[in-house]
Structure formats: structure tokens, C-alpha cells
């Protein structure tokens, strides 16, 4: 099918990933619309729909050939348990009815606390957290639909990401935001731990590449990342581009647990801290072998662009 005969619909088009997916689709001259509950997305037609309402969701998807699920629900285990399965079931049924390909922007939570280094797509899934169990449940629903031939589509899994407008990323919330406020950055994990990060623009380019290549369908793909970094190495890069000289302040775990009694978001973050207590290195070799010409944005460039976007 010619790109101009397609219509790509991006759910969560105002978010950090959805907005970059739209930018990449527009760069490729692919007809694109956004779906948001209330917000408007600049540069494309925006359809307002509640994705938990099947009829609204179905109406929004009419005429689409590709559906990108780039939605970000509030960071709450209870909300995820309540809303993610319903949203995914709606998405699968809507795509079945309208013959739409489903592209799901996923994360790594389902792999659980015991992570082999590096972690590949066939890694054992044994989540212990509420949010990890939900992510496994909805990914399993989608994979089952692929295998049964109910719908066509692909899953792209991202490591922790950073980039312009990524205000809900762990790097922004505890690290970059403080620096922009002229405050010392804090870190919730242990020092010296290697971690892989994905740049939002790379995630978007990779997700669109997967969507446009049907030989990738029915599979899970780890989206491309840079090499693993420690938070100290990342701090040096941020200092270089922010013209600062901060050192990382590590939050004592006991203080974090006490704070979680009074601050809901800290309580929600606590169950995911295993990702920063031990090496969390994600392999994207499968993707890189499939798309050998794909260029991953160097951390140096990504950090500079991220800081510049927030300063604006």
C-alpha cells in the first residue's frame, strides 16, 4: 500500500512519544491524525475521544490503516490495573472491526526484578510489581491476538526514555527538572549502576519503521538505545551542556520509604526501584540487525537537545 493511501492514527498524540511519532510520520509525508481526550495537537487534525469508551474509540478509528498506542495513563498501580486492560481490549476489538494494524509502544516493566545482562526480547517475564504485572497482561493480550490472526501489528518496547517534552520520564522528574530549577539533582538508585536509555526521537523513528515493515509484525522488538551509562557519566554530560558543576545526591532508601507514606508518587515509584539498584542493560541488537542503517542519537546530542527544549 502506498503511504498516501494510508491513514496513521496516533493515540496520545500530545505526549512525548506520540508527538514525536507524528513528527516522524509527517516527515515521511504519511497522512496522520491524532487522538486525544481533550488536548489539541498542533499541525494535525485532532480527534477527541475517550479510549475507555468503546463507541467513541471505534468512531475515532474509522478510516485508519494504522493505530499507534502511545498513551500514558496516570502513574498509579490502581489506575493501571483498572484502565489498561480495558483500553487494550478496546484497541484490539476496534482494530479487528476496522481492519487496522496496531502498533504498541511498550515498556520493560514485565521483565521483573531479575534481569539478565543484556536483556533480550525472549527474557523470562516474572514481574513482582503491580505495574509490571499489568504490562505483562496487556502485552500478552496483544500477542495472543497476533498469533490468532485476529489483528496484525507489532510491539516496540522502550528502555527508560528521555528527550524533549518527556516530563514524566524518570530522568526528568528526579534529575533534569532540578537542574533547570538551579537545584542539585537527586537520584533514587544506587551509585555506579549501568542503565540503558532511549531517546524519544529514536523511539518514534523506530516505531514508525516497524509499522511500515510488515515483515516485523507479530513480534516484540526492543527499540534502539545508546550504550549503558551510569548516572555519574550522565551527570557529566548534563553538566557539560547545562554549564553546571553539580554532583548527584543519592536519596537514602529509608527516607524514600518514609516519604512514600505521605507523597503518593513516591509510593508509586518505590516498587520500580529495582531498575536502578542493579544493572539494567537492554539489548536492541535484534532491531539494529533488521535496520542496520538506523542511527542512534548519541547521548551527547540527545542531552543537549533535551535541555534546549526545556529552556524554551
Q: Residue 296: inside a domain, yes or no?
A: no
3-class DSSP state of 156:
strand
Identify the pLDDT of residue 176. Answer: 87
Is the distance from CB of 88 to CB of 141 less than 8 angstroms? yes
Q: Is residue 238 pLDDT above 80, yes or no? A: yes
Identify the pLDDT of residue 104. Answer: 98
Q: Terminal CA-to-CA distance of the chain, rounded, Å?
A: 39
Beta strand segments in 6-96, E: 8-11, 32-36, 45-48, 66-69
Please name the helix (run of DSSP H) or strand (run of DSSP E) that holds residue 186, with its range, or none.
Answer: strand 186-187
Residue with the larger pLDDT of the pair 265 and 36: 36
pLDDT in tens, 132-158: 999 999 999 999 999 999 999 999 999
Q: Residue 272: inside a domain, yes or no?
A: no
Q: Residue 183: inside a domain, yes or no?
A: no
* CATH number, domain with residue 29: 3.40.50.720
Q: Residue 251: inside a domain, yes or no?
A: no
Q: What is the DSSP string of 82-96?
A: HHHHHHHHHHHHHHH
Q: Based on C-alpha coordinates, what's the Rg of the chain?
A: 19
Q: Is residue 85 pLDDT above 90, yes or no? A: yes
Average pLDDT over residues 247-261: 76
Q: Residue 299: inside a domain, yes or no?
A: no
Indicate the pTM of the whole model.
0.95
Average pLDDT over residues 19-36: 97
Phi, psi of 163 (to 5 degrees): 150, 180
**Residue 168 to residue 151: CA distance in whole angstroms:** 31
Task: Give percent of the chain with pLDDT exceeding 70.
Answer: 96
Q: Residue 257: inside a domain, yes or no?
A: no
Residue 210, domain extent:
3-162+197-224+283-291
Identify the pLDDT of residue 174. Answer: 74
Q: Residue 298: inside a domain, yes or no?
A: no
Average pLDDT over residues 80-87: 98
Q: Within 13 Å and on the Cβ side, how many CA atoms surround 16?
A: 23
pLDDT in tens, 187-235: 888 899 999 999 999 999 999 999 999 999 999 999 999 999 999 999 9
How many domains would you assign to the chain? 1
Q: Residue 116: inside a domain, yes or no?
A: yes
Amino acid at each position: 500500500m502506498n503511504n498516501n493511501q494510508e491513514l496513521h492514527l496516533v493515540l496520545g498524540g500530545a505526549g512525548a512519544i506520540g508527538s514525536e511519532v507524528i513528527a516522524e510520520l509527517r516527515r515521511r509525508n504519511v497522512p496522520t491524525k491524532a487522538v486525544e481526550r481533550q488536548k489539541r495537537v498542533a499541525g494535525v487534525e485532532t480527534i477527541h475521544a475517550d479510549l475507555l469508551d468503546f463507541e467513541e474509540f471505534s468512531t475515532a478509528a474509522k478510516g485508519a490503516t494504522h493505530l499507534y498506542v502511545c498513551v500514558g495513563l496516570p502513574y498509579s498501580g490502581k489506575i493501571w490495573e483498572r484502565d489498561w486492560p480495558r483500553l487494550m481490549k478496546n484497541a484490539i476489538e476496534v482494530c479487528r472491526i476496522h481492519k487496522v494494524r496496531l502498533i504498541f509502544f511498550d515498556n520493560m516493566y514485565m521483565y521483573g526484578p531479575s534481569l539478565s545482562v543484556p536483556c533480550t526480547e525472549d527474557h523470562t517475564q516474572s514481574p513482582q510489581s503491580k505495574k509490571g504485572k499489568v504490562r505483562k497482561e496487556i502485552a500478552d493480550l496483544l500477542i495472543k491476538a497476533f498469533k490468532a490472526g485476529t489483528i496484525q501489528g507489532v510491539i516496540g518496547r522502550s528502555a527508560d526514555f528521555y528527550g524533549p517534552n518527556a516530563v514524566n520520564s524518570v530522568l526528568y522528574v528526579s534529575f533534569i527538572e532540578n537542574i533547570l530549577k538551579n537545584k542539585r539533582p537527586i537520584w533514587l538508585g544506587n551509585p555506579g549502576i549501568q542503565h540503558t536509555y532511549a531517546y524519544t526521537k529514536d523511539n518514534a523513528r523506530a516505531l514508525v519503521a516497524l509499522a511500515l515493515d510488515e515483515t516485523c509484525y507479530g513480534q516484540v522488538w526492543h527499540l534502539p538505545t545508546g550504550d549503558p551509562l551510569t548516572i555519574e557519566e550522565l551527570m557529566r554530560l548534563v553538566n557539560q551542556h547545562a554549564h553546571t558543576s553539580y554532583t548527584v545526591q543519592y536519596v537514602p532508601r529509608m527516607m524514600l520509604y518514609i516519604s512514600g507514606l505521605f507523597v503518593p508518587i513516591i509510593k508509586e515509584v518505590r516498587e520500580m526501584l529495582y531498575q536502578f539498584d542493579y544493572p539494567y542493560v537492554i539489548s536492541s541488537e535484534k532491531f539494529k540487525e533488521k535496520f542496520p542503517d538506523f542511527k542512534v542519537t548519541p547521548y551527547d546530542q540527545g542531552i543537549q537537545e533535551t535541555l534546549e527544549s526545556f529552556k524554551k
